[in-house]
Structure 1
Amino acid sequence: MLRKFCGKTSLDLASHKPEILALVERFTSFSQAANPASPVVVAAANHSGDSNSSTRFRSVSVDSEPRMEPQVFGAGKPEPHPVFPNNFHERTTSRSGLMFNSQASLDLSPRIDQTIENLLRTHISTPVRPLVTNSSLHLLWPQPQRIIELEGPPFVPKKELLISVVKGATPVHRILDVWDVCGPSLHRLGYITKIGDVQPACGRWTEIQVECTVNEDLFPTSDSYRIHISTEKVRITASNLVGLHYACCTFIQLLRLCKTDSSSESLSPMLVQDYPAFKHRAVLLDISPRGRIPSLVNSTGRQANLSTFEMVTIDRYCLDRFVTLVPVLDVESHVTYDDLTDMWLILQEVLASFPTLRHVHVGPKLCSLLGQSRVEDGENVPHHVPLQELWQILGLPPEVTLMLCSNSLHTQEAAPPLDIPPNILLVEYGFQADYDFQEWTRDFHNQGTMTLLCPGTASWNSLAGCPEASVCNIYRAVQAVGEQGSLGLVVAHWSGSYHLTPHPFSWPGFIVGAGLAWNTSTHWDYLHNSLSDLLDTHIFLDYAGTIGRVIMELGYAETFVLRSSRGQEPGDLSDLPAQDGSTLYRLLTDPDNVSLENLSVDMFGVS
């Protein structure tokens, strides 16, 4: 039904009210006084294929100022176009050269082409984000999403850091608990933190050097934080307590890096804006007893490396730092499906050691038992054991989320499709440098199932690891998470057959995974050139810069021997790391089956 003012513009409505019309003509860019342009003449579009540039439509350019001048499009005699009130003329624009009538759109946005042109010009003239020139900031890890260096004298922290908390929805005591957890790290740097005062929500000026605010409404994503360092004070703002903990960790890193970089112990003014890229960022540690020295123990006692008290202590330590401790359950290779019922009490004992149980990870062997096709008595059609039975078999409450190894669930042509429950996360294991995570998880994503990707440290079944394979493997996993929308990354470290690899050689994979899962835009060149320095700065605390380089070079040397024994090119990533162990590893564990044809005596430094 047509209304009284249907089809009329704002100028039409204002034409009978001189006061309003004067305001419109004064403050708009299309009034007659501001734009005394001639009428625009538009002809029908020419589809004859004429390539004459004079008959083509001139698209809007961000390099030229908007001009109102007569234009003729097409060939033949132009037809006059209707003229709108108050000397407003429709301007038909198209980047493809095709004509169209957009009177309705132009009635609502009279000069939308000029508006877009101005926006584009403003965007192009915006300066590129400046590079970080402070060398001490280059070793922040993970790299923050955004760092802006500011002008002004540096901030000099006092040895007694007083904390001023701005009151909000989060209880003050919970905020102070986060600072108490970070207290020992600050104390090792020579700083003591104390509560200074509590500000009202509106805030007020105070001479206290550190100001802390927790407000989720100030951030677009959860677990975010912002650190603003000026000459007078440090303002830390977080979306929640988790973000506050991350902010404190970054603040501690800044204090430690400035202390090692110079003797002034001052922080340059800056703005740090940060948040995690992935929801789940984890490591998987194999604590199986294969690496223990055999000794006489009570066979009827608890068959685990850690006691229940130790597990509860570790869980509390993780809880204070907003880390979730997840049990990984698996069985030996000789266990069958019928044995699972007898193992129920053992599984319950293990799960009881995790007081804050939210997730349970089921390993590859147990998943293969539950996912394999079986033939029941009296039936000829094989079928899978329903995955819904896992909650009953493990005695889990319904609020627990299961994490299953998806490698054993890969669809086979002869097997019926699996019915995957909605409260299950599939963890795709892939530990080769060239493993294609997207190919193996595509079917699961098409079924609407969420996945976690699990690369590895590539340090098991070797003497010094293979850092090149670990970095490539983790990088491919990070790219796959971004492409497919997986929930996150889990970096695994297995004990291996004989557990001969010292734990320090697994740290390159851990530190790469931690950094890339937080900030996926970290450059490959930076990571490749700075990995040894990151190890020295954050893991080994070796300010001489020696241990990290030794760890990396030993890994490169072992990889070189492995490639040489195979006759591979230096850049060949196939079967890296070796599934049956590196060459040096096999020389110790299985020397009779190692091929030495491509190896020389000089390679081992024997004279």
Structure 2
Amino acid sequence: MIDSLYLYPQPRGVYRTEGQTSFKSRVNISMETTEAEESAVSDVRAEERICSALERYTQDSGGPVDDTQVTVRRRPDLHPQGYRLELSGNRVEITYSGAAGLHYAVITFEQLLRRYGGSLPNCAIEDEPDLEVRGIMLDIGRNKIPKMETLYALIDKMTELKLNHLQLYMEGYCFEYEKYSELFPEETPITAKEFQELDAYAKKRFVDLVPNQNCFGHMAPWLAKEGFQELAELPEGFAITPAWHMPASTLNPLDPRSIELVTDLFDELLPNFTSSFVNVNMDEPFELGMGKSKERAAEIGVGSLYMEFASKVFDAVRKHGKKTLMWGDIVTRHPEVIPSLPKDVIVLDWNYEGASSFENHCRLLRDNGISFYVCPGTSSWTTLSGRTANMKKNILDAAENGLKYGAGGLIVTDWGDMGHWQSLPVSYPGYVYAAGVSWQVEANREHEMETYLNDAIFQDRSGVIGAFLMELGDYYHLERSTLMNMTYTNYVLTRGLLSVEELEQGLKDLIQVFSMMGGVQLEYAIDYQYEALIEWLERMSLRLKEVRMSVEDANTVAAELENTIRLIEQGVGLHRYMYRIGLQDVTAEKAFLQEIIDKLRKTIAEYERLWHMRNRAGGLLSSMQSFRTLLKQYEDELGRLESVT
């Protein structure tokens, strides 16, 4: 076996044979398929794609080389998504079992031609995935709803990475529910027609577009609307700590109007998708058993109370002929209810911290005969630029334990908490790494993905951006903070200008929230490396100038990453001002405030401009609210200082 051929995801096996393969763009294709197999071949458009790739990536120079001979045949004993690709002389032979396997074989052939042109060593590639389902779940429920062209481009990238599952997470009015449109006049949702067209586009590329709608917890946008407040378990919300109040977010499971609302949503949403599945989520019903259902919870237990409502949701899904996907945080916390899970329900086990393993939950679900997927994260949300080391450790642990304990798939999640400030390119390393290790864990755990980011995702002639993005997501190491699921720099931007005492009390409260949610007592510590962060920002700004991308959205990507650096700089600057680092007197404070005000105005303007490049307008004002609040705080502080001098 050889590893000299660069492919991503790296295949299961690459075997070198004697000689060299040389291609011409002129091609003779033999499709050795029966009439019953013709539909699979036509679904993949194999002949058209092979001819197009040879024409695009090879050059005929005359001479003795014969036309490229391509043979495509079916071999039923292969994995349904597997294939064998043999290159010898001027001959290409593709064998496959299912249409998806043929599709992936052609993707590999296209990638070889794109990277090596018309000449490479004779070899045979034998390949199939470790995990059947390999996907992305993108949050469109918190502020940021992508434009359709953004979603089509995402599916194209997924196709090249052999990913086959896409969910768009929804918890508010992200889909145009006609029955409730008057409640959300400010939103810019995806329409039924748009979902239908996206579904058809994805299906042609062997990507299952799975509908997604939260329907128990995370219902705050609905419960805030007039006429829906009374459906809440705790209409007034609840306090996690004395200083940390949460709005009402969980439906009252005992009120029949709760399942009526869920049924209404499904009846409008689900007919627009051809997928056999729907993700009903049902995670983090924080108030469950604390309010209107408290007596019932005391009688049968919170886990059983949860399952009572879940069973009604399952029935609503079955009415549409679909199978249920649901998050596993409640059932793994209440394992006594696991035996009551129906066989047509798949549990999505989530965990986003590299320091915490999937193993215990995977073993629990496997031992109870429960179908499940592992769901790590991109680590991009609430960070501005990601947490690269955590992302890789988290995703690899998910893939390893998913494979070990029989998971049906891996879905990498890309959330939008606290404004969805991360730009899309920041999430690409997580998408790419998840695609690699979910396809073949051993072949891709250490395989260099920076080259794929450079060549395929960004087409960067400088070869810089892959390593740049990986380092951009590691600034959190310079914070030396024990915060989970976020960076300290991102956190201070969400809180704004506070006194040191207020900031530090808020951090203690946040750690208490994490402790309550995770069921483990945590401690907070930070050793913020301010000077090192300033040096890092300067270095990253210079490195970004070296990038030479040729993708269609190159200018947008460059501007997004430049503004990402500005946002981090704002967080670093806010920390400096609150702790008065190097600001010995009022004159220095005023000068620094004026400087950072000017930079923040530019950052906000650029954030707004770039938002409209990829996303719909709805949610933008909410996303920017913390930035505008901070700007006002700075201006007021500057005014105060000027009034006393």
Shorter chain as denominator, the TM-score bin is 0.5 to 0.7
Where relative contact order (Cα < 8 A, 6+ residues apart) is larger, the structure is: 2
**Where does structure 1 lack aligned partners over 5 or more consecutive residues?**
1-128, 193-205, 260-264, 567-573
Q: What's 1:320 paired with?
A: 204
Deviations 1:82-106 (A, max 9, x none): xxxxxxxxxxxxxxxxxxxxxxxxx
- The TM-score normalised by the length of structure 2 is 0.61
Distance 2:349 2:365 in 1: 10
Does the aligned pair in 2 maintain the 1:533–1:545 contact within 8 Å? Answer: yes
Distance 1:594 1:493 in 2: 27
Deviations 1:6-54 (A, max 9, x none): xxxxxxxxxxxxxxxxxxxxxxxxxxxxxxxxxxxxxxxxxxxxxxxxx
- C-alpha deviation, 1:400, in angstroms: 1.9
Q: What's 1:310 paired with?
A: 194
Distance 1:511 1:222 in 2: 23
Say which of 428, 449, 454 aligns to 1:507: 428
Q: Which stretch of the first structure deviates more once superposed, 250-259 or 329-338?
A: 329-338
Say which of 42, 51, 58 aligns to 1:176: 42
Deviations 1:205-227 (A, max 9, x none): x966211112314x2x3221111
- C-alpha deviation, 1:401, in angstroms: 1.6
Q: What's 2:263 paired with?
A: 344
**Equivalent position amino acid for 2:69 in 1:** Q
The 3 A distance-change label for structure 1 pair 378 and 314 is closer
- C-alpha deviation, 1:460, in angstroms: 0.2
Distance 1:301 1:364 in 2: 22
The 3 A distance-change label for structure 1 pair 371 and 486 is farther
Are 1:588 and 2:446 matched, yes or no? no
- C-alpha deviation, 1:329, in angstroms: 1.5
Does the aligned pair in 2 maintain the 1:278–1:518 contact within 8 Å? Answer: yes
- C-alpha deviation, 1:274, in angstroms: 0.6
**Equivalent position amino acid for 1:603 in 2:** L
Distance 1:484 1:367 in 2: 28
The 3 A distance-change label for structure 1 pair 222 and 523 is closer
- C-alpha deviation, 1:255, in angstroms: 0.1
- C-alpha deviation, 1:380, in angstroms: 4.3
Distance 1:394 1:477 in 2: 28
Q: Describe the SS at the equivalent of 2:182.
A: coil
Say which of 276, 280, 285 aligns to 2:133: 280
Q: What's 2:72 paired with?
A: 212
Q: What's 2:479 paired with?
A: 562
Does the aligned pair in 1 maintain the 2:277–2:323 contact within 8 Å? Answer: yes
The 3 A distance-change label for structure 1 pair 416 and 482 is closer
Say which of 62, 81, 93 aligns to 1:223: 81
- C-alpha deviation, 1:314, in angstroms: 1.2
Say which of 228, 241, 246 aligns to 2:99: 241
- C-alpha deviation, 1:531, in angstroms: 2.6
Say which of 251, 254, 269 aligns to 2:122: 269
Deviations 1:299-334 (A, max 9, x none): 368966322121111111111122211112204242
The 3 A distance-change label for structure 1 pair 594 and 458 is farther
Q: How does 1:69-80 map to 2 (within 5 A)?
A: none
The 3 A distance-change label for structure 1 pair 173 and 299 is same
- C-alpha deviation, 1:376, in angstroms: 6.9
Does the aligned pair in 2 maintain the 1:536–1:548 contact within 8 Å? Answer: yes
- C-alpha deviation, 1:353, in angstroms: 2.0
Does the aligned pair in 2 maintain the 1:185–1:252 contact within 8 Å? Answer: no
- C-alpha deviation, 1:245, in angstroms: 0.2
**Equivalent position amino acid for 1:235 in 2:** E
Say which of 347, 355, 360 aligns to 2:278: 360
Q: Describe the SS at the equivalent of 1:349.
A: helix
Say which of 475, 479, 490 aligns to 2:411: 490
- C-alpha deviation, 1:438, in angstroms: 1.6
Are 1:539 and 2:422 matched, yes or no? no
Deviations 1:233-256 (A, max 9, x none): 111111121100000000000000
**Equivalent position amino acid for 1:514 in 2:** A
Q: What's 2:641 paired with?
A: none
- C-alpha deviation, 1:495, in angstroms: 1.2
- C-alpha deviation, 1:594, in angstroms: 5.2
Q: What's 1:299 paired with?
A: 182
Q: How does 1:138-177 map to 2 (within 5 A)?
A: 138=6, 140-158=7-25, 160-168=26-34, 170-172=36-38, 174-177=40-43
- C-alpha deviation, 1:463, in angstroms: 1.2
Distance 2:105 2:36 in 1: 16
Looking at CA atoms only, which structure, 1 or 2, has the larger radius of gyration?
A: 1
Does the aligned pair in 2 maintain the 1:330–1:366 contact within 8 Å? Answer: no
- The structure with the largest helix share of the pair is 2
Q: Describe the SS at the equivalent of 2:261.
A: helix
Does the aligned pair in 1 maintain the 2:130–2:439 contact within 8 Å? Answer: yes
Distance 1:155 1:189 in 2: 13
**Equivalent position amino acid for 2:23 in 1:** V
- C-alpha deviation, 1:394, in angstroms: 4.2
Q: What's 1:389 paired with?
A: 312
Distance 2:479 2:436 in 1: 28
Deviations 1:402-438 (A, max 9, x none): 111111222449x766611111111111001122212
Q: Describe the SS at the equivalent of 1:152.
A: strand
Q: Describe the SS at the equivalent of 1:461.
A: coil
- C-alpha deviation, 1:351, in angstroms: 1.2
Does the aligned pair in 1 maintain the 2:46–2:103 contact within 8 Å? Answer: no
Deviations 1:477-525 (A, max 9, x none): 111112211212111101121111111111111111111111111254x
**Equivalent position amino acid for 2:42 in 1:** L
Does the aligned pair in 1 maintain the 2:383–2:490 contact within 8 Å? Answer: yes
Q: Describe the SS at the equivalent of 1:290.
A: coil
- C-alpha deviation, 1:369, in angstroms: 8.6
Does the aligned pair in 1 maintain the 2:351–2:376 contact within 8 Å? Answer: yes
- C-alpha deviation, 1:182, in angstroms: 6.6
Q: How does 1:452-531 map to 2 (within 5 A)?
A: 452-522=373-443, 524=445, 526-527=446-447, 530-531=448-449
**Equivalent position amino acid for 1:288 in 2:** G
Distance 1:182 1:470 in 2: 38
Aligned-pair identity in percent equals: 24
The 3 A distance-change label for structure 1 pair 207 and 187 is closer
- C-alpha deviation, 1:184, in angstroms: 9.8
Deviations 1:378-406 (A, max 9, x none): 99444434343223334633x42211111
